[in-house]
Each structure stands twice: as C-alpha cells, then as structure tokens.
Amino acid sequence: MQQDLVVRVRVLEEKVEALEELPARVTSLEMQIVQLRSEMRDEFSAVRADIKAGDDGLRSDMNAGFEGLRAEMKAGQDMLRVEMKAGDDALRQEVRAGHAQLRREMHELNDRTLVQMRMLHEEVLDRIAKLDEGRRHRKRRQ
C-alpha cells in the first residue's frame, strides 16, 4: 500500500511538471501562429502581385496582337473590296483564300492566347495549392 502511494505521488509529480511547461509551450505556439499568419499574408500579397503582373502583361500582349490582327483584317478587307470591283473571279477566289488564311491565323493566335491564359491560371492554382500544402504541413508538424 505504501509503495502504491509512492508510485502514485511520483506519477502525479511528473504530470504536474509536464503541466507547468504548458504555458511556455502555448506561448511558443501562439508566436508561431502569428508568424505563420504574417508569412501567409506576405505570400498571398506576392501571389496577387504576380497574378496582376501576369494579367497586365497578357492583356498588353493580347491588345498588341489584336491591333495587328485588326490592321491585317482591315487591309485584307480593303484589298478584297478593290479586287472584287475588278470583277475577276480568279482574283476573288485568291482574296477569299487570303481572308480564310487570315481567319485561320486569327484563330491560331486566339488559341495560343487561350493556352497562355490557361497556363497562367494553372500556375496560380499550383502556387495556391503549394501555399495551402505548406500550411497543412506546418500544422501537422506542430
């Protein structure tokens, strides 16, 4: 009976010692959470800035490409009008082929733009997933 009491007292002392360390551990955990929030805020700001820069660059590239296409299309239309007035059927067929070629090129440029937009979108999703994965990994370690 005496030994049981001694063992129980030792166990109680060990538990109390562990509980005495708890406030320091909680404080440390609070500091880590504050630091994590700060890092996440900074990273999200950086991701937003990257997205905005990518959007601005893509928008600029698209506008430049569209302006070039518009100029080419207008030139093609003007040429088509002149050549159609000449009344030469063979010439009309060539103009139509040129117009079709311009349309194909326009579709190709549009497709390339869509691919670039999708790639940027996937990059953003990947970055967000990595941030989220890092956050979950840190939570598991804690």
Per-residue pLDDT of the chain (142 residues; tens, 9 = 90+): 677 888 888 888 888 888 888 888 888 889 998 998 999 999 888 888 887 887 787 788 777 777 887 888 888 888 877 766 766 677 667 878 999 999 999 999 999 999 999 999 999 999 999 988 878 777 666 6
**The model scores a pTM over 0.75:** no
Question: Identity (one letter) of the amino acid at 69?
Answer: L
Distances (CA, A) of 63 to 72, 111, 127: 14, 15, 27
- d(C-alpha 54, C-alpha 62), whole Å: 12
How many distinct structural domains can be found in the chain? Answer: 1
Pair of tokens at residue 58: 């893509």
Domain that holds residue 78: 2-141
